[in-house]
Structure 1
């Protein structure tokens, strides 16, 4: 009996973060966040960047993609019960983040920043809300600076859709990217 319990699959980060609410998410969102091991998704994205010189500097430091429209996007997810790595490829421009779940918050490392998020699930979408940010893992930054950072995940026409937008006070838009993804097996059909 104990052996059977030890062999049971462990909950993914998003299953841990959301508990029972995970199973009420739209199917495409659940499928993406149920990945264990390695999986590839493919789709199309559009990226807009702010024109303010400080916005461009922030985007460069964070390793965000340059502006582009209708660009092929692939994302490789490498996941276990403790962490996930997301390797995005926006038509040859790569961006990687690492995620973990600790202290009731989803944590995402992007360049020198570590974002901490509250997740808000609904029947039609999953929203990420910034709860805190640290630079270099040590220096806490005022959470209010990041009120303009949003992420929405939903399902549309059977596909996983995302919208990520980051605006900062006095700087304005840093980046906005959106698009859709399907598991590679489905996207190739």
Structure 2
């Protein structure tokens, strides 16, 4: 098995964890949520989402905010492999970048004092940090996911961001025989 399968596993697992958490889904506050036939699966950027005419909010690549013409919050899920340890393990990084339009930063709920990016980051931290990443097809585990940083920033005059960086390790599949 190639080490690059870790990238797919991290992205799919993270997407599933976000979609399965109703609090995160509601905090994203997608503009299509109240439309007939909408389901949280339509948060994911896919042909199915586009065909239904819904607006996606989760991308498994870096989506430039300048290509979005709506007042929206969206999340980019990125994964990288950087370091081999003792030739037996690889370190994989997961990046979750939350973008919110300046007019979508306030959550209309008096019990939530956080801005939208901070609140979603807090929920994602609870959902992911300290858990073992599972491969979708085999349910085998990668290493434990650990939050390394959560950095607030601005992308441009319209979008604010929160960039969360997690790390986990897994065995170096380059050493495994595959027949």
TM-score if structure 1 supplies the norm length?
A: 0.27
TM normalised by structure 2 equals: 0.29
Higher helix residue share: 2
